[in-house]
Amino acid sequence: MIRYLNTTIFRHKGSIRTMLKQSYRTIIAAMIIPTVIMTASMMLMTARYDDLIENIDKAAEIRDIAKNQFSGEIWNIVSGKMDFMEGSQGEMMQQMEEGLAELEENNAHTARYVVAAQRASNTLRSYVDTLRFQTMNQEAVSLQESTYRDITGVVTLIHTVLEQYINEELINISRLNSRIQMVAVLVLIFTAGILMMVIYFAVNSYQYLRDSIHNPILKLQEMTRAITDGNLDARVTGSAVAEMIPLTKSLNHMAERLQQLIDERIEVGKDLQKAEMRALQAQITPHFVYNTLETIIWLAEQERNEELVDIAMAFTEFLRISLNQGKDYVEVSSEQKHVQSYLSIQSARYNRIMTYNIDIDPALEKESILKLLLQPLVENAIYHGIKNKRGGGQIQVLARKNEDNTMTFTVSDSGIGMLPEQLERLRFRLREGILPEFSGFGLYNVNRRIRLYYNRELEIASEFGKGTSICFTLPCGEKNNDETVCSG
């Protein structure tokens, strides 16, 4: 059989899938068959063993009732200690008859003993009826004693028959034990044979898998590890396994093209994302410019000249820093002036509902930062926080230098805030880079730019009715080497 398995499973050396399927099926079948046989045999024999024990217990119970309880009950009636109608002999007779009926249903080999006991039980009932008649009619004591002796003889017969029945069942149990031991030995021998066959087969399977599959896969794994470590010159020789040949060729070809593709994609990706960011950045200011000009016109119509001059100067400063000669980086002091100008303009429009405070660490004034990071966050705080809360609120802009040579910027407001589900939805859209449908372009733009230029993201905390806080942390002393940082 082992030779048959070897020729059947390992003859198709070109098909790994077929060989593996046949291997699994053979091993599983070899392990399941003896288990099923042993389990089924033991279940059948255990059930038969339980039946025999139950029959013996039942027969012993009937025997004890007939010999001990029933005989004593009849004697009390005959001796005058108990009236016939007060005795429980009828219940005992009913219990014995029901027990014999159960034994008759559960037995085939020892049914003759049960039948004999049932006949004796029927005779016993007739004698009991005779005794009842004699006691009810107060016949002679001698007649009642004669009936008692007949009853005692029948009870003795039932006791003897049930003893023989119990002995016969004990013999059956002994035979069943011998049969169980024999089956256990056969199953053990069969299992040992199957186990040896499985071990032999497993060894052959392992050797074949190691030579045909495992070793080529290890070589491919070593090559991928080398590529991961930056060695794009790593190559794998051809494999003898048909399924491995295309993979080996593809991996070698991938290594040849990988470096070129990486360089190309990095450059294209950077140019494309920077162009996208500049386009998105241009979307920040137009609506603000329109609103500011409308405010200036309104102040002019109201002849509020001093406020008009202040807003015009702030607007001029705002545009100067925003344009920044096309440069992407500014000093923190310039970004502070930019936010100050923006808030000065907005306070003219929302002075009744908005106050603000700017607190920038002086140690950060000369540090460089990507421009237009704070103003969109402040704009978001005004339009989505302060304006939506009855009674308005305060905006606070903070910047601190950290001990690990980083700087943290925080824009917080005491506006309407967000519900937990709104906050989680906003975090998800920023994390996944999902463009807003209607509003929040400034927040999205800032997060994308920070991710692109610094590989960092915004951190947002909010509580409904209390306000929102947005912060981000950037490294100190870094700037784009291709650009000159504007000092404002």
For every one of its 488 residues, what pLDDT tens digit does the chain have, with 9 covering 90 and above?
445 455 554 544 555 666 667 766 777 776 677 677 777 777 877 777 777 787 788 778 787 777 777 777 778 777 777 877 877 777 888 888 788 877 777 665 667 777 888 888 888 888 888 888 888 888 887 887 888 788 888 888 888 888 887 788 788 778 877 877 787 787 778 778 777 877 877 777 777 666 666 677 777 777 777 777 777 677 777 665 666 667 677 777 777 777 777 777 676 566 546 645 554 455 445 666 777 777 778 777 777 777 777 788 877 877 776 666 557 788 999 999 989 988 988 888 888 889 999 999 999 999 999 888 998 899 889 988 998 888 889 999 999 999 999 999 999 999 999 999 999 999 999 888 887 665 667 788 889 889 888 999 999 999 999 999 999 999 998 665 444 455 55
Q: Do 23 and 150 have their domain in common? A: yes
Q: By three-state DSSP, how is residue 214 classified? A: helix
Residue appearing with tokens 């910047």: 399
Q: Do 175 and 64 have their domain in common? A: yes
Among 58, 152, 64, 68, residue whose Cα is nearest residue 110: 58
d(CA 201, CA 41): 27
Q: Is residue 223 part of a domain?
A: no
Q: Is residue 140 part of a domain?
A: yes
Q: Is residue 236 part of a domain?
A: no
Query: In this structure, are strands 393-401 and 368-370 parallel, antiparallel, or unpaired?
Result: unpaired
Among 350, 348, 352, 353, residue whose Cα is nearest residue 312: 348
Q: Is residue 325 part of a domain?
A: yes
Instruction: Please state the separation of Cα 37 from the chain's center in Å.
Output: 36
| Domain end among 173, 208, 243 | 208
Q: Do 169 and 53 have their domain in common? A: yes
Please state the φ and ψ torsions of residue 414, each to the nearest 5 degrees: -105, 40
- Amino acid present at 47: A
Q: Is residue 96 part of a domain?
A: yes
- What is the residue range of 103's domain? 2-208
Q: Do 190 and 335 have their domain in common? A: no
Q: Do 204 and 288 have their domain in common? A: no
d(CA 451, CA 468): 21
Q: Would you say 357 and 394 are in contact if contact means Cβ atoms under 8 Å apart?
A: yes
pLDDT of res. 242: 63
pLDDT of res. 239: 61
| Domain end among 187, 208, 229 | 208
pLDDT of res. 369: 92
d(CA 149, CA 484): 131
Q: Is residue 87 part of a domain?
A: yes
Q: By three-state DSSP, how is residue 473 classified? A: strand
pLDDT of res. 46: 77
Q: How many domains does the chain contain in total?
A: 2
Q: Do 17 and 115 have their domain in common? A: yes
Write the CATH number for 357.
3.30.565.10
Q: How far is CA 192 from CA 185, 195, 197, 199, in A?
A: 10, 5, 9, 10
d(CA 380, CA 440): 7
Among 366, 448, 440, residue whose Cα is nearest residue 399: 366
| Domain end among 208, 233, 254 | 208
d(CA 318, CA 293): 13
Q: By three-state DSSP, how is residue 208 classified? A: helix
pLDDT of res. 482: 45
Q: Do 37 and 170 have their domain in common? A: yes
Q: Do 320 and 428 have their domain in common? A: yes
Q: Do 308 and 196 have their domain in common? A: no
Q: Is residue 224 part of a domain?
A: no
How buried is 219 (Cβ within 10 angstroms: 0-12 exposed, 13-18 middle, 19+ buried)?
Answer: middle
Q: Is residue 227 part of a domain?
A: no
